[in-house]
Every structure is written in C-alpha cells, then in structure tokens.
Amino acid sequence: MTTIPVSSENIDSDRQFLKNVNSVVIKIGSAVLADDNGLNLEVIHHLCRQIAWLKGQGRRVTVVSSGAIAAGLGKLPGMPRPRTVPEKQAMAAIGQSRLIQVYEDAFEEYGFTVAQILLTRDGLIPRHRYVNAKNTIKTLHDWGVIPIINENDTVATEELQFTDNDALAALLVNVAEAEVLVCLSDIDGLYDSDPRKNPDARLIRLVSRVDASVMALAGDTPGRAGRGGMRSKLESARMVNACGIPMLVVGGRQENIIERVFSGEDVGTLFLPGHNRKLKGRKPWIAFALTRKGAVEVDAGAERALVHNMKSLLAVGIKQVSGEFDAGDCLSVMGQHGDEIAVGITNYSSEELRKICGCRSGSICEIVGHDAETEVIHRDNLVIME
C-alpha cells in the first residue's frame, strides 16, 4: 500500500488558516464550467456568487478560468469538438469573448467589475513583462476589480503554451501575491486509486510533500473538457508548495464549495508546504515563468549542499548533462532519486558543461579557455523545489 506523506501536526485545524487569508487564486477548470453543449450558466453564476462573497469580506481574488473552447462550441451548435491546433485556436477565439461576457454579467449582479487578461508563457519569460503583469494585477486589486485570467490559446504555440491552466494558476500565485491556490476540478481531490474505476477509492485529505509516491497516484487521463488532469494538479501543487504556499483541490460543482473552503471545512485535498520558506524577488519568475531547456544530474554531496545548505551548484557535483542549451538558460537540477530538486539559470552552455562536469573549480578556466564563473548556477539564481 502506498504511503502518503502527511503532516502529523494540527491535522484537525489545518484548514482554519483559510478563514484569514487575504489574497487567493481560484482556478476553475473547463469540466466545472462546461457541459457537452457549452458553458453551464447556472454553475458559473453559482461560483460568481461565492467569489463575490469572498470579495465582500475584503479579500483579493484572482480567477484563472478555462472554458474558451467550450464557450465557442456553445456558439456553434452541431460543430464537432476541434482536434487540430488551428481548430482549437479558432474555437478559443470564438469563445473567449463569450466567456468573459458571462463573467461580466454574473459579477455585475453583485456590484463587481471584472478585467480580462490573456497570457502566454513567452509573454512572461522577459523579466520586465513578468513585472508588468504583476503590477497590472496589483492595480486591478487596488481598484476592487476581479482579474479573470486565461491562456491566450489563439496565439500560443505548443512549445510556448502552458501545459494547462493548472500551470498558469501556479505561476499566478506569485504574480498575484496570493496566500493560497484553490483548484476547482471535476474530481473532489486526490484519491488513493481512480474513483472512476474503483468505487472503494479513498479521498486523501492532506499531503505534506508531493513526492514520487504521490505522483504515482495520478494517471495521465486529462479532464473531461480540458488538457489538464490530476497529474498536472500535482505538478502545480509541488511548485506552489516549493514557494511555501498551500494548494487545495476540490470538486467545483459541490454546493457552496468556495464558501465551505474559506470557512475552514475539511473538503478536498490540501497540499501543505513542508517549510515556511517564501520565494521572493526574481526567484518565482525563475521557478514558474522560465522554460527548462535542459537538465543536470548531481551527486549526493551536491544535493545535500543545495537542498540543506542553500549553496550554489558547482561543476564538481555534476554527474551528467542532458539537452542542448546556452548560458543564461534555465535548467532542471535532478537529484539522486530522479526528482527535480531545483531549477536555476546556468552560467555555462551544454557544450561547456559537458567538458567541466565533475571538475574542481580551479581547473575550469583552463578547460573552457577563458575566464569563467566558479558556480555553474549561483544560489541567487537557484530555486530549491523540495
């Protein structure tokens, strides 16, 4: 039987902090918003009423919403679901205006204004654009406006798109300076087996570390109406937990689910960070916005130095280099058990790094033929993901 890492402290009261958080990101999946014939207006209005309840308490709420393709299908009755990338992008273009109009109409009933923000990963890779997005969202919150954010599916190419809106929501936790991420899904949380196949599957209430045993519980089956699935949610939980931020996965169509979550009720699966470390400055941008262009595998000594002593990555601790990349690219740092233990910006290209991996710092200049940095990845450009 798989052992799930859980926190042994304050299990009875671990949800009570949700009563007091001031800034939240709520991600709403396509399968929550949509039915076979397009958007489910009743569900959307029900969720908007609850978000308005949060806003009425003075909390800052950032909404990450899927559903543009489903909204497009609703405007073209009888049209088969798009399969190719151009078809999906065209359908998203048709549906995005409908999606934001539905939100605008629903929130207007409660006296709130919404703003539409469409993002692509490459739009956030330049540091100044990341900061601009952060400042825009802050200004909207200062004005009392609810940001409704979606990936710009119409222009995002496969290599530059987020894997799904779970990944986008994880990024926006830091952009919006949120204290928690709540993912509203078509499943009630993480189970110890697939509840669609096993009626005796148990809901796991609390996870303190998303390790290999937890990832093994997720299949690759996507959501009913979107690209994501439980695996993408676990990857997002691991990322936001690495920033010291909790994440909750709950069934989005449960009655009054948002109110119940922020009243401290024990619903869904809560992913708690195992530390109180908060990422600041440019490190959230490194961890979330930058695409990994390659990877390095490190030995046990380097792993200890990085994870426990917060040291820089040196060439002597690198065992293997994967991929082709340039100096200044973002790399995954893989530990002894094949897990990504860190990400960071490399001072060396893949060609140079293959020459110097395993070498001591004193011999690097001679090997590469020019003045060189002592560190492969300096600790200021390194983010620990455990």
> For residues 331 and 377, is the Cβ–Cβ distance under 8 A?
yes
Residue 301 confidence (pLDDT): 94
* HSE-up (13 A, CA, CB side) for residue 249: 29
pLDDT at 157 over 80: no
Which tokens go with 123?
């739009």
CA nearest 12: which of 258, 251, 219, 270? 270
Give 4-48 pLDDT, tens digit per residue.
554 434 444 578 999 999 999 999 998 999 987 789 999 999 999
Residues facing 296 on adjacent strands? 321, 333
Could you tell me where the DSSP H helices lie in 247-316?
257-261, 283-284, 300-307
> What is the rounded distance in angstroms from the CA atom of residue 79 to the CA atom of residue 106?
27
Confidence of residue 317 (pLDDT cuts 50, 70, 90): very high
DSSP string of 327-366?
A: TT-EEEEE-TTS-EEEEEE-SS-HHHHHHHTT--GGGHHH
Confidence of residue 154 (pLDDT cuts 50, 70, 90): low
Give the residue, 369 or 169, on which the prediction is more confident.
169
> What is the rounded distance in angstroms from the CA atom of residue 122 to the CA atom of residue 267?
35
- What average pLDDT score do residues 140-146 get? 97
Give 198-214 pLDDT, tens digit per residue.
888 899 999 988 887 88
Give the residue, 267 or 221, on which the prediction is more confident.
267
- What average pLDDT score do residues 60-68 get? 94
Residue 360 confidence (pLDDT): 84
Q: Tokens 């994880």 — which residue?
A: 170
Residue 370 confidence (pLDDT): 65
Task: Give CB contacts under 8 A, 24+ apart, made by 134-141.
Answer: 134/175, 134/176, 134/177, 137/62, 137/172, 137/175, 137/176, 138/176, 138/177, 140/115, 141/23, 141/60, 141/62, 141/176
Q: Tokens 């470390």 — which residue?
A: 277
Q: 188: Cβ–Cβ under 8 A, 6 or more apart, which residues? A: 195, 203, 250, 251, 254, 267, 268
Going from the N-terminus, what domains does the chain have, and what CATH number goes with each?
16-271 (3.40.1160.10), 291-384 (2.30.130.10)
> For residues 306 and 341, is the Cβ–Cβ distance under 8 A?
yes
Residue 291 confidence (pLDDT): 86
pTM of the model: 0.83
Give the residue, 41 or 362, on which the prediction is more confident.
41
Confidence of residue 220 (pLDDT cuts 50, 70, 90): low
pLDDT at 155 over 70: no
Checking DSSP bridges between strand 247-251 and strand 318-322, what pairing results, if any? unpaired
Return the CA Rg of the chain.
Answer: 22
Length of the chain: 386
pLDDT at 369 over 70: no
Give 82-118 pLDDT, tens digit per residue.
888 888 888 989 999 999 999 999 999 999 999 999 9
Q: How far is CA 161 from the centre of its chain?
A: 13
Cα angle value 222/226/231 (rounded, 5°): 35
> What is the rounded distance in angstroms from the CA atom of residue 128 to the CA atom of residue 223?
34
pLDDT at 160 over 60: no
Q: Among 2-16, 161-175, 316-330, which stretch is predicted with the lowest mean pLDDT?
A: 2-16
Cα angle value 330/66/258 (rounded, 5°): 105
